[in-house]
Structure formats: structure tokens, C-alpha cells
Amino acid sequence: MLIDMLKGFLVGICASAPIGPIAILVVQKSLSMGHKAGFVSGLGASVVDTFYASIAIFALAFAQRFLEDGYKKLISDAQKRKLGNIFKLSEISDIEVDVAVRISNVLGGG
């Protein structure tokens, strides 16, 4: 039973190893120049991955802030007046006006 658990652990470690150009570079450096060079290559790869991840997090935070607040700025006053004139020209019931006011309040339009 212990041997089966060790085999499973070894298979899990092998399966979780990333296969890609950077991993191949780290393995190549380790085999040709020793374990210290491989460690430094792996450390450099992890620093770069951390840097890219932080850029992605800040980009997602910017996108979230834009989606929460920025879309309101996209609709200009002229477009709002144009929509207002369209609604004034048509016959609108009190229920439709109430729904429009509630939607406007939910979207932060006033």
C-alpha cells in the first residue's frame, strides 16, 4: 500500500510539471551547467511569471472599474437628449415612465 502511494505521488509530481519552452530551458540549464544554474533559471522564470500576473491583475482591476463606472460616461448628453425627444414624441403610459425612471435610477442616471 505504501509503495502504491509513493507511485501515485511520483505520477502526480510528474503530471504537474509544466511543459513549455521555459521549463525546457530550466531542464537544459540544469543538465548542462548544474543544479545552481537550473535553480537560477527557474527563479528568473518565476519572477517573470509573477510580474506578468501582477500586470494581469491590475488590468483586470482597471477593466472592472471601467465596467462599473466608465460606461456611464460613454453616453453623451446629446444622445440622452435625442432619446428624450424620441420618448416625448411617442405616447408613453405612466407605467412605462415609471419603469424608465427606475431603470435610470438603477444605472445611476439620477
Please list, residue by residue across 59-97, b when 16 or more beta carbons sit within 10 angstroms of its beta carbon and e when fewer do: eeeeeeeeeeeeeeeeeeeeeeeeeeeeeeeeeeeeeee
pLDDT at residue 105, rounded to an integer: 74
With a cut of 50, list the residues of the chain below it in pLDDT. Answer: none
Half-sphere exposure of 61 toward its Cβ, with a 13 Å CA cutoff?
6
pLDDT at residue 36, rounded to an integer: 93
**Model pTM score:** 0.47
pLDDT at residue 73, rounded to an integer: 64
C-alpha 85/C-alpha 19 separation (Å) is 61
Query: Per-domain residue ranges for the chain?
Result: 7-73, 75-110
pLDDT at residue 90, rounded to an integer: 61
For the chain, how many helices (H) and strands (E)? 6, 0
